[in-house]
Amino acid sequence: MGDVMSSRKKTLVDAILGEQLERVPVASVTQTGIVELMEITGAEWPAAHSDPALMADLSYSAYSLIGFESVRVPFCVTVLAEALGCDVEMGTISKQPAVVSHPYATLPDTFELPVSLSGVGRIPVVLEAVRKLRELTKGDVAVVAGFEGPVTLAADLVGTERFMIWTLKHPERVERVLEHTTAACQDYAALLGAAGADVICVADPVASPELLSPTMFQSMLQPYITDLGDSIDTPSVLHICGNVNRILGSMAQCGFDALSIEEKVRDIEEAQWVTGDRARLIGNISCAFTLLDGTPDKVREEALYCLRSGIDVLAPGCGLAPATPIANCRALIKARDELYE
């Protein structure tokens, strides 16, 4: 890790690595930018997506103003896609950036990565934000850096609908693109680790069985996700959105230290049996129905269920919706503390 870890940082890292702990950490490995935090700090979207100081300030506020035992950048899954040629609409204070063009709609004859990703697009912004967070936290809090996984990155470059059609009609095209995107993800993960990220979170929503079948995941997608997971030296997390019950065992074989899961994985004890000692579980408080639209009492109820079921890290099940109230986020920490009183 490069430094002597504080007890707070060590607790989260140890939880991800499967060490026995007296107290479950409360963190977020997914996006934490919410409007209330933006208004308090002045670090608002869309500027905070492209300014390293604003990005770091907004990320830090999830620790300093909410109490999450981590800080996480960036606030979208478009940075690597933009670096590889996608156009991105940067959104508003309450809307995340979105990919709006697909440069590989016509598959190129050859793929060439930039000589170094470190200077391309907003990648330098994220790397500098990671370094600034190391300074802000004084090494006391784990810095989590995330990006889109190889499947989602491929879908961004090709177009999601076209990508899904290719998985059925032109699998050789899919494999060519995935080789390229996996290499890009590996390079970016190494850069983030070198910049000081304590945890790498790879979010690959297009790999969800709600979009592509479990058979497709195992035969076509899993080898590339595994190549990425096996290559990451930093403690690592794989996040796939939706109901991943049918691929949870396969996800646990992809070389990541932990899996971030949504609330659709309801039986945490069964999920732990499926994953065994291959990966820890992070989550899985509903972002839409509980943290966004619920009350602190609802958050408490769901959090206590997760904790009593044996979740390894208590966390939002996905990225926070921008309109999520601070009070609901703080209720996660209160519920954890209540359990250990």
Measure the CA–CA gap between 229 and 232, rounded to whole angstroms: 6
Helix (H, G, I), strand (E, B) or coil at 240: coil
Percentages of the chain per state (helix, strand, coil), in multiples of 5: 50, 10, 40
Task: Show the 3-state SS of 116-128.
Answer: CHHHCCCHHHHHH
Residues facing 145 on adjacent strands: 73, 200
pTM: 0.96
Give me the domains of the chain, ranges plus CATH numbers. Answer: 7-18+25-339 (3.20.20.210)
The DSSP code sequence of 270-295 is HHHHHHTTS-EEEEEE-IIIIIITS-
* 183-200 per-position pLDDT tens digit: 999 999 999 999 999 999
* 242-292 per-position pLDDT tens digit: 999 999 999 999 999 999 999 999 999 999 999 999 999 999 999 999 999
* 197-208 per-position pLDDT tens digit: 999 999 999 999
Mean pLDDT of the chain: 96
8 Å CB contact between 113 and 182: no
